[in-house]
C-alpha cells in the first residue's frame, strides 16, 4: 500500500509539472489586471491572437478593461502570436485550469478545426473573434461582414479614381476567411462595377514587411499606380506610408500625383493619416465591440444560454453558419467628412 501511494504521488507531481511547463511555454499574461475573482462566475479562457498589429493591441486593451469593468472571471490571458501551435497549447492550458468557455481569434481558420472538435467533445463552448473557423463547432463568431469590407473599399476607390487606373491590393492571408472574404468581394465588385481598373493582387500573410517589399516591386514595374487597398491598416499603414514617402509619392489628397488609399481597421493612426490627406478612407473594424461581445457571449455560453438568428438589440444581425452562429457587427466607412466622429472607437482610445 505504501508503494502504491508513492507511485500515485509521483504521478500526480509529474502531471502538475507538465501543466506548469506548458503554461510557462505559451506566452501567458498573468498580470493582476488580466485575472479577476469574478465571484462564483464560471472561468473564461481568453487567447489574444497577436501583438504585432495596432488593431489587435487595441482589442487587447479593451478586453482587459472589460474584464475588470464587468467582473469577468478570466483565467490568465494568453497570446498565441499568430501561431496555431501556440494557440492549441494555450487552449489545452485553459482546459486543464477549469475554463467553462474559451475566447479565441484563430488567424489560420482551417488549422483550428481539430481543437474546436476536442473542445466540443468536452462541452467547452468557443467564441471566435473576427475570424470564422472553416470547420469545427463554435458557439458564436463575433465579427463584422468582411465581404462588405471588400465591397465598400472597391466602391470608394473606384469612385475616387473615376473608374480607371491601377490599384495595388495588399491582401491578408488567403488561408484566413477574412483575407478570402475581403479579396473575393473586392475582385467581384471591381470586375462588375469598374472593369477599366486593373487590380494587382499582392498576398502578404498579414505581414507588413512582405506588403512593403511587394509594393516596392510593383511600383518599379508600374510607376503610374494610382490606388492602394490595404486589407489591414494595423500592419500595412506604417510600412506603406514609409515606402511612399521614401519614393516621393506621398502626395496629400487633392494634389496632383496623390495615390488614393483605402484601408481596413479604424485605428487612431489611420484617422491621423486621413486628417493629413495621406490616405482617403478606412473601414472601422469595431475593436471595442469585438471585446465587449466576445466576453458577453463567452459568459452566456458558460451559463448555458442560447441565441437564435435575427436582429439583436445592439444594432447587428446574428446569422446561421454551418458550424454555429455569427453576430455581424456594424463597420462604417470613415472618410475626411466623418473622421472626427466621437462615436468611433479609434477616437476614444489612448495610444
- What are 291-345's pLDDT values in tens digits? 999 999 999 999 999 999 999 999 999 999 999 999 999 899 999 999 999 999 9
CB burial readout 231-243, b (16+ within 10 A) else e: bbbbbbbebbbeb
> Of 280, 290, 264, 267, which is closest to residue 344 (Cα–Cα)?
267
Please give the average per-residue pLDDT across 211-225, as a whole number: 98
- Separation between Cα atoms, residue 136 and residue 151, nearest integer Å: 28
Residue 16: the pLDDT is 39
Q: What is the DSSP string of 216-230?
A: HHHHHH-TT--EEEE
Beta-carbon count within 10 A of 257 CB:
10
- Separation between Cα atoms, residue 270 and residue 100, nearest integer Å: 37
Alpha carbon distances (Å) from 291 to 79, 239, 283 = 15, 27, 18
Query: Which H/E stretch holds residue 189?
Result: helix 177-193
Task: Quote the pTM value.
Answer: 0.81
**243, three cell numbers:** 515606402
> Of 185, 268, 202, 275, which is closest to residue 240 (Cα–Cα)?
202
**112, three cell numbers:** 483550428
Taking 50 as the threshold, does the pLDDT of residue 22 lie above it? Answer: no
Residue 102: the pLDDT is 98
- Separation between Cα atoms, residue 53 and residue 49, nearest integer Å: 10
- Separation between Cα atoms, residue 135 and residue 322, nearest integer Å: 8
Residue 110: the pLDDT is 87
- Separation between Cα atoms, residue 247 and residue 219, nearest integer Å: 10
pLDDT in tens, 27-74: 554 333 345 445 689 999 999 999 998 899 999 999 999 999 999 999
Q: Where in the chain is the domain with CATH 3.40.50.2300?
A: 14-138+287-330, 146-284
- Separation between Cα atoms, residue 253 and residue 263, nearest integer Å: 15
Q: What is the DSSP string of 232-299?
A: -HHHHHHHHHHHHHHTT--PPTTSTTPPEEEEEE--HHHHHHHHHTS--EEEE--HHHHHHHHHHHHH
The CATH class given to the 14-138+287-330 domain equals alpha beta
How far is CA 272 from its chain centroid? Answer: 21
The domain made up of 146-284 has a fold known as Rossmann fold (3.40.50)
Task: Kindly give, in sequence order, each residue whose CB lies less than 8 Å from that of residue 319, ignoring residues fewer than 6 positions away.
Answer: 309, 325, 326, 328
Task: Kindly give, in sequence order, each residue whose CB lies less than 8 Å from that of residue 346, ignoring residues fewer than 6 positions away.
Answer: 266, 267, 268, 270, 271, 284, 334
Residue 175: the pLDDT is 84
How would residue 25 be classed by pLDDT, with cut points 50, 70 and 90?
very low
pLDDT in tens, 26-40: 455 433 334 544 568
pLDDT in tens, 264-281: 999 999 999 999 999 999
Residues 260 and 35 sit within 8 Å (Cβ to Cβ): no
Amino acid at each position: 500500500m505504501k508503494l502504491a501511494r508513492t507511485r500515485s504521488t509521483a504521478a500526480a507531481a509529474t502531471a502538475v509539472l507538465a501543466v506548469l511547463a506548458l503554461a510557462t511555454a505559451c506566452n501567458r499574461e498573468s498580470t493582476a489586471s488580466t485575472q479577476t475573482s469574478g465571484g462564483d462566475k464560471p472561468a473564461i479562457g481568453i487567447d489574444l491572437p497577436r501583438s504585432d498589429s495596432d488593431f489587435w493591441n487595441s482589442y487587447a486593451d479593451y478586453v482587459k478593461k472589460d474584464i475588470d469593468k464587468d467582473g469577468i472571471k478570466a483565467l490568465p490571458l494568453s497570446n498565441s502570436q499568430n501561431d496555431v501551435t501556440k494557440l492549441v497549447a494555450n487552449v489545452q492550458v485553459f482546459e486543464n485550469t477549469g475554463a467553462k468557455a474559451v475566447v479565441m481569434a484563430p488567424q489560420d481558420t482551417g488549422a483550428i478545426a481539430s481543437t474546436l472538435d476536442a473542445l466540443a467533445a468536452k462541452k467547452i463552448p468557443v467564441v471566435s473573434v473576427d475570424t470564422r473557423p472553416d470547420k469545427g463547432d463554435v458557439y458564436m463568431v463575433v465579427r463584422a461582414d468582411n465581404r462588405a469590407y471588400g465591397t465598400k473599399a472597391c466602391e470608394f476607390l473606384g469612385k475616387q479614381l473615376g473608374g480607371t487606373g491601377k490599384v495595388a491590393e495588399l491582401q491578408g492571408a488567403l488561408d484566413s476567411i477574412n483575407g478570402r472574404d475581403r479579396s473575393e468581394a473586392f475582385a467581384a465588385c471591381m470586375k462588375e462595377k469598374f472593369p477599366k481598373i486593373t487590380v494587382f493582387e499582392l498576398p502578404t500573410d498579414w505581414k507588413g514587411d512582405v506588403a512593403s517589399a511587394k509594393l516596392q516591386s510593383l511600383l518599379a514595374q508600374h510607376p503610374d499606380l494610382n490606388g492602394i487597398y490595404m486589407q489591414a491598416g494595423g500592419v500595412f499603414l506604417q510600412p506603406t506610408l514609409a515606402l511612399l514617402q521614401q519614393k516621393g509619392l506621398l502626395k496629400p489628397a487633392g494634389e496632383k500625383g496623390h495615390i488614393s488609399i483605402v484601408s481596413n481597421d479604424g485605428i487612431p493612426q489611420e484617422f491621423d493619416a486621413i486628417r493629413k490627406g495621406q490616405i482617403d478612407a478606412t473601414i472601422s473594424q469595431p475593436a471595442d465591440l469585438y471585446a465587449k461581445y466576445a466576453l458577453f457571449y463567452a459568459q452566456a455560453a458558460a451559463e448555458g444560454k442560447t441565441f437564435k438568428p435575427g436582429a439583436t438589440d445592439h444594432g447587428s444581425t446574428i446569422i446561421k453558419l454551418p458550424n454555429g452562429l455569427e453576430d455581424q457587427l456594424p463597420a462604417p466607412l470613415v472618410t475626411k467628412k466623418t473622421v472626427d466622429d466621437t462615436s468611433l472607437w479609434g477616437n476614444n482610445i489612448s495610444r
